[in-house]
């Protein structure tokens, strides 16, 4: 007979599964993440897993949603009328989040594409995914005036954020390189 869980236990187990799945996704990827191992770390049987998530893909969708929620929270750190320093602070936080989750570096990988191919269609239709227009939607909706075209500024910010994808070849602290470049270019982008 299957054990029943209290609501508090269910919430705790669900949170453990999500956290363990995120760790596993970051370190070994979607394909190599095994439900058995996640269940063991969460203290449940594999059979009990299906009381929490319909499938491995549903769990990964939830992990991605959690990442999106953190991403959205970063967007909300910008004041209504940001100054250049606010833009820099938010981009630095975003860079650290990309580095921590590795979602930016994985989203074009065969492993990530395999996940997307197996993800539930209804989730794919409603998910925010990682917005290609994040910078355009949030950084340029401000009172700051650009010194260059919006497209060029977007390209510069995207290039800076892409440092995280090549951090291993920099031979120096990649975050410090990102911050130095951002701090030095911001006055060339905004008046």
Q: By the 8 A CB rule, do 182 and 88 touch?
A: yes
- Single pTM value for the model: 0.78
- Dihedral of CA atoms 19, 31, 116, 90 in degrees, nearest 10, equals 40
CB count within 10 Å of CB 177 equals 15
Least confident of 6-10, 36-40, 173-177: 6-10
What does the pLDDT average to over 2-11?
83
| Helical pair 84-101 and 7-32, crossing angle rounded to 10 deg | 80
What does the block give as tokens for 8? Answer: 């508090």
Residue bearing tokens 């063991």: 40
- Give the model confidence (pLDDT) of 117-134 as tens digits: 999 998 988 876 555 555
- Give the model confidence (pLDDT) of 47-88 as tens digits: 999 999 999 999 999 999 898 888 778 877 888 888 899 989
């Amino acid at each position: 007979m299957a054990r029943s869980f209290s609501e508090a236990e269910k919430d705790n187990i669900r949170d453990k599964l999500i956290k363990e799945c995120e760790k596993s996704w970051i370190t070994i990827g979607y394909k190599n993440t095994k439900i058995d191992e996640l269940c063991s770390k969460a203290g449940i049987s594999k059979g009990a897993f299906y009381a929490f998530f319909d499938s491995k893909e549903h769990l990964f969708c939830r992990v991605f949603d959690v990442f999106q929620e953190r991403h959205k929270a970063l967007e909300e750190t910008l004041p209504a009328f940001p100054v250049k320093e606010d833009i820099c602070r938010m981009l630095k936080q975003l860079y650290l989040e990309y580095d921590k989750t590795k979602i930016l570096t994985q989203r074009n990988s065969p492993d990530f594409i395999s996940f997307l191919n197996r993800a539930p269609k209804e989730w794919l239709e409603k998910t925010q995914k990682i917005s290609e227009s994040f910078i355009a939607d949030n950084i340029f909706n401000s009172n700051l005036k650009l010194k260059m075209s919006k497209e060029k500024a977007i390209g510069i910010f995207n290039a800076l954020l892409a440092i995280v994808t090549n951090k291993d070849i920099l031979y120096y602290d990649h975050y410090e390189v990102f911050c130095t470049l951002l701090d030095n270019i911001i006055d060339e982008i905004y008046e």
